[in-house]
Chain A
Amino acid sequence: MSTIDKIKSRRVTNRGLNKKYANLAEHKVARNTKIRSTEWHKGKSVSLKYKSRPFKSFNRKINKLSKSIRNSVRAIPIKKNNLQERRSSVQAVSRNSINLNKEDNRKGHEEIEAMETHYMTAKNNNLTDKIHKSKSKLDHNEDKLEKNPFKPAKFISFGNLSPKRIYKDKGAIERRAVLLQAQTAEDDEKRNKFTPLNIARRVSTIHESPPGKRKCDLDDLSSRMLPKNIPNTTRDHQMANGKKYFSRVKSFEAYFNKIKKQKIMTYTKISASERPISKALLFKIISNRQKQEGDLIFCKCEKHPEIFQRGDLMMYFSRKRVYDELLSCAYKTFDTYKSIDDLEKNKRVMDIVKDVPRTFSNYEIFNYHEMIAKVFRILLVFLEYKNGVEYYQGMNCIVGALAIHTEESKAFWLFIDLLEGYNLDDAYKPNLEGCALFTNEIQQMVSKKFKKVHAHITSIGISYEMFCVNWVISFFCSYMPLHMIPIFFENFHKKGWPVFYKVISNIFKTLEKSLLKCQDICEVLEVFKSLKYPDTSDLAPSGSKLYKNCRITKKWKAILK
């Protein structure tokens, strides 16, 4: 039995863990979907627990419901009789073709394809005709909108109706078709009014008027918030990308290639009790057809009853788009602060403002404005995302370590997947309860594997919190030197949580001798400190060669093997 297997088995059977996940039973269903939707959780042993049977039946129900809804919506533009005739003819052709030779078979298929394309074009033509007709009707609605923006026009309110009632209201479906086609409309003015985003805002009835989309510039903000002596541009563009000193994390790219296939983000309305800001949530596509960005769709299930209701109007977005939207929301909240005094009252933001300029300031890359602004933006978006996790000092290190290797939006989603996909959010529970569980686990592991060290340390009077809190909360990002973190992430993406514990056991292995010599609390903690890279830019060596050849990196290479 390898060490990883041992840790795995222990992690499942551990009583403390069971308790921990018993508390999370409420979110079980939601979590189940996430784990199923992404395959890279396989390394994690706990995920096996969540596969429960009742969920399957639940899924089937949703499938049936969604099919019925979809058919009801799609079938309108063409008369039903025509459709049935065509379908039956197509089927007849296909039946005949089975008995023929291969060449004939091909011909039959071609015929079927031709029929289908013909059918599709006819459908489209019908649609466009109807759209042109209904546009004239819509103009009236627009006028109404402009006059009193607080009263939403008729077509907007159907987001709250049930799908059946929509089906009865024939006009509603025509209008919906217009909404879908609006993106390709030539008139720029109309496009501004009918982009899916704007509609989503109006549907939510929270936003009074859609603001013009802003670029992600931090110039106003940074002039107010960040210290001024930071240079604005990078000397070396390569350096900002991290090519020079840091090896790239390959698994990130593979991960995002997987995700491209499933665009699973939705952008919907949110209960009025919360702050008037839209929120992104994971939502699984059930249909086989690939949705395009900006598609409107009705909500089919009630996974998150606080936010979704069956029949709500929703739309699909790529992750990047959602990130941009959240960022614009973050800027909006910043606009509400009239002075810095206002801002200082908001502790959540001020914590970030204080921490961002001092993330990895010992590395040259983080001494430039671009990187700092990047981390700052990601953390602001994290505040907007609001998945129940509060900001802890040390998160800035994780975000900084991710931001070197990928784009902004990708770094953000990687961070969120660490929290939600890998359940790192357990560490960030209030009063550090989750962190205590992690330290308990570490203590158990060490007491089994390194009995002498454990006995020696505890006899001196050290409690594991003194050094474990740093490891857990910053996910090793503030303990490990920055240039060694990619190796850690690479392994973690492949094998999951066992890697985390393996690193800890390796740390103890390398420090075993020096730990046994210690006779004080102070000496023990200084031994742990010896693996840390110097905290400040003055003490840290600069240049790629020094990074690679310094003593600490050699030690860490042995640990991460």
Chain B
Amino acid sequence: MEKKKNKKVFLKVVIIGDSGVGKTSLIHRYTSTRFLQDFKPTIGAEFSNKEVVINGKTVVAQIWDTAGQERYQSLGISFYRGADCCGIVFDRSDHSSFENLDTWKNAFLKHGAPKEEGTFPFLVIGNKSDLDDGSLVKERDAQQWCADNGNLEYIETSAKDNTSVEEAFTKLIEKGMEREKVNLVELPDRMSQKNKTVNLQRDVAKDVNRKPQKKKCC
């Protein structure tokens, strides 16, 4: 009986932010519990998976790691669509990346086009808090920006020291779960994933299988 209760839930987590902010290393820290300094710049988007148990439910988080350069934002239509929650990352030692938070949020709402623009679960993540020169972006400023943009939550992390990386992701996933409770009626495991995307191609697939059969009959 217990196994039946533990149904798998699929969640799509999208992580955005300026380039060189540490999106990839954050995700890598979370999924494989290691820190690696030099990553290739991500082109287009990359993808990783993790199973977590939250509140007695096993959740499979599909974490989408997107490219940081502004030119790739037009790809968002295919990557942001159907996201359950979104983490916006900025580099605390790089003030310009903090100033770009607005553009990232707007770009996500524009290309992703979620149903509830006002209440869509965002999480603002300030990374690289281990580089303490005294010139970091202050917590007050970040909190104020979050308060101004619809009471978003804010968290400070460091992928290098592994400070509150797990917390950030669990928060993200919990938020996504809450949203799903509101929006989706319970669906079987993989159906929930499939129904988010447009199913036009499915008919094409059947046609391909059918056509040769007809010919044989004739």
Cβ of A537 within 8 Å of any chain B Cβ, yes or no, is yes
Question: Which residues of the partner chain A approach B49 to less than 8 Å between Cβ atoms?
Answer: 522, 526
Docked complex Cα distance between A465 and B68 (Å): 17
Question: Which residues of the partner chain B approach A525 to less than 8 Å between Cβ atoms?
Answer: 47
- Least CB distance from A149 to B in Å reads 39
Residues of A within 8 A of B (CB): 344, 347, 351, 354-355, 357-362, 390, 392-394, 396-397, 430-432, 451-452, 455-456, 458-461, 463, 465-467, 469-470, 473-474, 478, 519-522, 525-526, 529, 535-539
Q: Do A474 and B39 touch (CB < 8 A)?
A: no
Question: Which residues of the partner chain B approach A466 to less than 8 Å between Cβ atoms?
Answer: 44-45, 47, 78-79
Q: A431-B71, A461-B194 are in contact. List 20 more A-B contacts (CB 8 A).
A: A347-B70, A351-B19, A351-B69, A354-B20, A355-B19, A359-B40, A392-B69, A393-B67, A393-B69, A394-B43, A397-B40, A459-B205, A463-B78, A466-B79, A469-B43, A469-B44, A469-B45, A520-B193, A522-B49, A536-B38
Q: Do B75 and A361 touch (CB < 8 A)?
A: no
Residues of B within 8 A of A (CB): 19-20, 34, 36, 38-47, 49, 60, 62, 67-72, 74-75, 78-79, 96, 190, 193-194, 196-199, 201-202, 204-205, 208-209
Given A430-B71, A522-B47: A536 in contact with B39 (beta carbons within 8 A): yes
Residue of A nearest to B71 (CB): A392
Docked complex Cα distance between A278 and B44 (Å): 34
- Least CB distance from B17 to A in Å reads 13
Docked complex Cα distance between A424 and B197 (Å): 32
Residue of A nearest to B77 (CB): A465
Docked complex Cα distance between A539 and B72 (Å): 28
Question: Which residues of the partner chain B approach A467 to less than 8 Å between Cβ atoms?
Answer: 44
Docked complex Cα distance between A538 and B78 (Å): 32
Q: Do B72 and A393 touch (CB < 8 A)?
A: yes
Q: Please list 20 pairs of residues, one from A and one from B, whose beta carbons are closer than 8 Å in the complex, sorted by A's number.
A: A351-B19, A358-B38, A358-B39, A360-B40, A392-B71, A393-B69, A396-B41, A397-B40, A455-B209, A459-B205, A460-B194, A461-B197, A466-B47, A469-B43, A519-B190, A520-B190, A526-B47, A537-B38, A538-B34, A538-B36
Which among B38, B193, B209 has the highest number of chain A CB atoms within 10 Å?
B38
Question: Which residues of the partner chain A approach B198 to less than 8 Å between Cβ atoms?
Answer: 461
Q: A432's contact among B74, B197, B199, by CB below 8 Å, is which?
A: B74
Docked complex Cα distance between A162 and B205 (Å): 67
Q: Do A469 and B75 touch (CB < 8 A)?
A: yes
Q: Do B40 and A478 touch (CB < 8 A)?
A: yes
Given A393-B72, A469-B43, A469-B44: A354 in contact with B78 (beta carbons within 8 A): no
Docked complex Cα distance between A161 and B117 (Å): 63
Closest 3 CB pairs of A and B: A469-B44, A461-B197, A361-B38
Docked complex Cα distance between A228 and B199 (Å): 52
Q: B40's contact among A344, A358, A469, by CB below 8 Å, is which?
A: A358
Given A358-B40, A458-B201: A521 in contact with B19 (beta carbons within 8 A): no
Question: Which residues of the partner chain A approach B205 to less than 8 Å between Cβ atoms?
Answer: 455-456, 458-459
Q: B41's contact among A394, A461, A520, by CB below 8 Å, is which?
A: A394
Question: Which residues of the partner chain A approach B202 to less than 8 Å between Cβ atoms?
Answer: 458-459
Docked complex Cα distance between A393 and B46 (Å): 14
Docked complex Cα distance between A359 and B40 (Å): 6
Docked complex Cα distance between A525 and B78 (Å): 14
Docked complex Cα distance between A275 and B43 (Å): 30
Docked complex Cα distance between A465 and B80 (Å): 13
Q: Do A470 and B43 touch (CB < 8 A)?
A: yes
Residue of B nearest to A469 (CB): B44
Residue of B nearest to A366 (CB): B38
Question: Which residues of the partner chain A approach B199 to less than 8 Å between Cβ atoms?
Answer: 459, 461
Which among B36, B39, B41, B49 has the highest number of chain A CB atoms within 10 Å?
B41
Docked complex Cα distance between A410 and B4 (Å): 64
Residue of B nearest to A359 (CB): B40
Residue of B nearest to A430 (CB): B71
Docked complex Cα distance between A394 and B19 (Å): 13
- Least CB distance from B144 to A in Å reads 23
Docked complex Cα distance between A537 and B39 (Å): 9
Q: Do B40 and A458 touch (CB < 8 A)?
A: no
